[in-house]
Structure 1
Amino acid sequence: MAGPTLYIFSGLPGSGKSTLAKALAGKVGAVYLRIDTVEQGLRDLCGIAVEGEGYRLCYRVAADNLQLGTSVVADSCNPIQLSRDEWHSVAEKLAVRFIDIEVVCSDEAEHRYRVETRKPEVEGLQLPTWEKVKKREYHPWCTERIVVDTAGLDVAETLQNLLSKIAVHSK
């Protein structure tokens, strides 16, 4: 399919979402937008308590790039239907394709290990504890999406799995 695509990543912290989102952005030549980076920048530079501002800024940056004909990979937990709908709205207003991608780690022990041992990639970002990840608000999905399970797979295997699912989804 010609034209830009908005790849909307969702998933709990530690699921492998950011690693996979960056790999996809590199593979398809898309702009990579990470909500954590924007939100931490708002905290650091503006001294504000961030709520939905990071998402709203990223919607605008995504729209700018999609209008230029550049695909965008949006990396966020995207835990509630409202944020999912807002991402869809960005694509629909510009009449571009969007693909929802939910990243999960079905192996709880592996997921916990990732959460407890990972280092922050965004300077100043406080990573959540396993307890906070388990208690995080995360609404069930009510729309079509691609689900990618990262348990027991390396990045290359997971990316290939995702690319295969995108190809089937795009037919």
Structure 2
Amino acid sequence: MFFIFSGLPGCGKSTIAKRLAERLKAVYLRVDTVEQAIRAASEHPKEMGPEGYFILYELARDNLRLGNTVITDSVNDLNLIRDIFRDIAISLDVPFLEVEILCSDRVQHRARVEKRVSDIPGLKVPDWNAVMNRHYEPWSRAHLRLDTAEFTPTQCVDKILEARIPSSAAKKMSP
């Protein structure tokens, strides 16, 4: 099974993805970890391009081929990125679930962003203006949307587990 997470920074995405990974004993792949490792290894760190996502795609593909349950944790702000993750699952005939995490309460979301401390050494988390000004494309297909202003992380994990769909149904959902 492949769980593909998306959502703006500070919405609770990583908290939920990690709890799901613990519950399922799944492989957890986070783009922030990959990108920070790339920055740390560089003599001249720069603004990150698509490198982190390309590495995440291949790590997910390798682990899915091995039969592991995989959870990817990234903003996934573009439909192109979402399509690539979905296409990996389809090409490997692996069932998948696309999960968008959001926080509809702007006051709560802002407080989370402003109080956030990175759990990845050296990673600078975005401020509220960066989160609000980030381009985030609307979804172009059906997916599971969970609002952390309405549900606790544990409730979100339960809803994700209830929503798991078989591979054939996942293929039918794709355009």
- Global fold match (TM > 0.5): yes
Specify the alignment match of 1:95 in structure 2: 93
Aligned with residue 37 of structure 2, among 14, 37, 41:
41
Q: Deviations over 1:15-37 (max 9, x none)?
A: 00000000111111210000000
Q: Counterparts of 1:15 and 1:58 in 2: how far apart (Å)?
A: 21
| Partner SS for 2:60 | helix
Q: Counterparts of 2:75 and 2:12 in 1: how far apart (Å)?
A: 11
| Partner SS for 1:137 | coil
Aligned with residue 27 of structure 2, among 31, 51, 57:
31
Q: Deviations over 1:56-106 (max 9, x none)?
A: 001111111101100100000000011111111211221111110000011
| Partner SS for 1:56 | helix
Aligned with residue 9 of structure 2, among 9, 13, 36:
13
Unmatched segments (≥5 aa) in structure 2: 170-175
Q: Counterparts of 2:56 and 2:69 in 1: how far apart (Å)?
A: 14
The 1:104/1:93 distance shift into structure 2, 3 A limit, reads same
Q: Counterparts of 2:144 and 2:150 in 1: how far apart (Å)?
A: 18
Deviation at 1:158, TM superposition (A): 2.4
Q: Counterparts of 1:63 and 1:46 in 2: how far apart (Å)?
A: 25
Specify the alignment match of 1:85 in structure 2: 83
Specify the alignment match of 1:137 in structure 2: 135
Deviation at 1:152, TM superposition (A): 4.8
Higher alpha-carbon deviation: 22-31 or 133-142: 22-31
| Aligned-residue identity in percent | 42
Specify the alignment match of 1:151 in structure 2: 149
Unmatched segments (≥5 aa) in structure 1: none
Letter in 1 for 2:29: L
Letter in 1 for 2:134: R
Q: Deviations over 1:103-145 (max 9, x none)?
A: 0011111000000001101111111111110110100001110
| Partner SS for 1:151 | coil
